[in-house]
Amino acid sequence: MIIQVKEVSKHFGGLKAVNGVSFDVNENEIVGIIGPNGAGKTTLFNLISGSLPVTSGQVVFNNEDITSQKPYVICKKGIGRTYQIVKPFGNISVLENAMVGAFNKASSTKEAREYSLEILKKVGLDKKKDQIGKSLTIADKKRLEVAKALATQPTLLLLDEVMAGLNPSEVKEILPMIKGLRESGITIILIEHIMEVVMNVCDRIVVVHHGEKIAEGTPKEITNNPEVIKAYLGEELSFA
């Protein structure tokens, strides 16, 4: 397996944002993390990526304890991530945005440029490489967010609501991109509220509620779990 999250907690004073969450992810899996707003999903990503130090517990990546290491160290080890709120570098080109990530491992500007061009092709932005970052549509800014993370050359990619705010046709366009990333050998953990996406691309799903894991299983097992239906999916939602 590529990563193990072991009894990880993050407390802010008396608030238990994440409380004793454990799960494993195997190489080349796509694992979804779902739950209501405020459940602790993004905080969990922050703990895995080193953006926040853990209160207790352990994160093991490729058999190495990376708990609370600095984000840039974790990134160099092979964990890339996107952020829920997209913030491209507005006044530089799409290509230059991707190159910022590429310098995580590239040893020259030429190498960073060449690798970034490959990544932009993967996410469908190669024809917009010379556009300024702030000029992109929301859908393309989401693609650029993924490109910036991919440019760091991750083996594990954390995707935080990369489809939030997109219309149904834009969502359908991005789905093949995510599946293609897995086919290229990248393991993915994704946070997503669009259940059609989660059910279509995820091998397994982890459900968090009030900072705690309440269920884990295949998409079918999760949609038939009474506790998950009550806490998140809603009584009226059925995937029968």
CATH class of 3-78+156-233: alpha beta
Q: How confident is the model at residue 232 (pLDDT cuts 50, 70, 90)?
A: confident
Could you tell me where the beta strands, DSSP code E, fall in the chain?
A: 3-12, 15-25, 30-34, 56-61, 64-65, 79-81, 156-160, 187-191, 204-209, 212-217
Cα separation, 4 vs 210, whole angstroms: 21
Q: How confident is the model at residue 79 (pLDDT cuts 50, 70, 90)?
A: very high
Secondary structure of residue 31 in the 3-state scheme = strand
Task: Give yes or no for residue 197 having a pLDDT over 60.
Answer: yes
HSE, side-chain direction, 13 A CA sphere, residue 102: 23
Q: What is the pLDDT of residues 13-63, one digit of tens each?
A: 999 999 999 999 999 999 999 999 999 999 999 999 999 999 999 999 999
Task: Give yes or no for residue 196 having a pLDDT over 60.
Answer: yes
% of the chain residues with pLDDT over 90: 88
- Convert 164-175 to b/e letters by CB count within 10 Å (16 or more is b): bebeeebbeebe
**First-to-last CA distance in the chain?**
31
Q: What is the pLDDT of residues 89-129, one digit of tens each?
A: 999 999 999 999 999 999 999 999 999 999 999 999 999 99
Residue whose tokens read 């705690």:
212
Q: What is the DSSP string of 47-82?
A: HHHTSS--SEEEEEETTEE-TT--HHHHHHHTEEE-
Instruction: Give the per-residue pLDDT at 231.
Output: 82
Cα separation, 5 vs 208, whole angstroms: 14
Instruction: Give the per-residue pLDDT at 170.
Output: 92
Tell me if 7 sits within 8 A of 177, measured CB to CB: no
Tell me if 61 sits within 8 A of 77, measured CB to CB: yes
Task: Give yes or no for residue 240 having a pLDDT over 70.
Answer: no
Contacts of 83 (CB under 8 A, 6+ apart): 145, 160
